Amino acid sequence: MTARKVRCPQCGQDALWAPENRWRPFCSERCKQIDLGAWASESYRIPVAVDPEDPALTVPDDDRG
């Protein structure tokens, strides 16, 4: 059985999807570290749509300074 190859999420090169590749799904330790650094610096974010009618986002009249 041949090992499957996947695209590295960081650089796009082929990466071996097998236990022999300790960095999977990345192709190398470098790509894994770059991705980890992006998470640590909060470069990856999930967009949020704010609903102005959401009662959890309003401040009660008593708390306004």
What residue numbers bound the domain in which 13 lies? Answer: 4-40
22/30 Cα distance (integer angstroms)? 12
Tokens of 45: 């974010």
The verdict on residue 26 lying in a domain is: yes
pLDDT single digits (tens) 36-58 = 999 999 898 888 888 878 777 66
> 30: domain CATH number?
3.30.50.10
The verdict on residue 14 lying in a domain is: yes
pLDDT single digits (tens) 2-31 = 789 999 999 999 999 999 999 999 999 999
The verdict on residue 47 lying in a domain is: no
pTM for the model: 0.63
The verdict on residue 62 lying in a domain is: no
Number of domains in the chain: 1
The verdict on residue 18 lying in a domain is: yes
The verdict on residue 25 lying in a domain is: yes
61/59 Cα distance (integer angstroms)? 6
3/20 Cα distance (integer angstroms)? 10
The verdict on residue 60 lying in a domain is: no
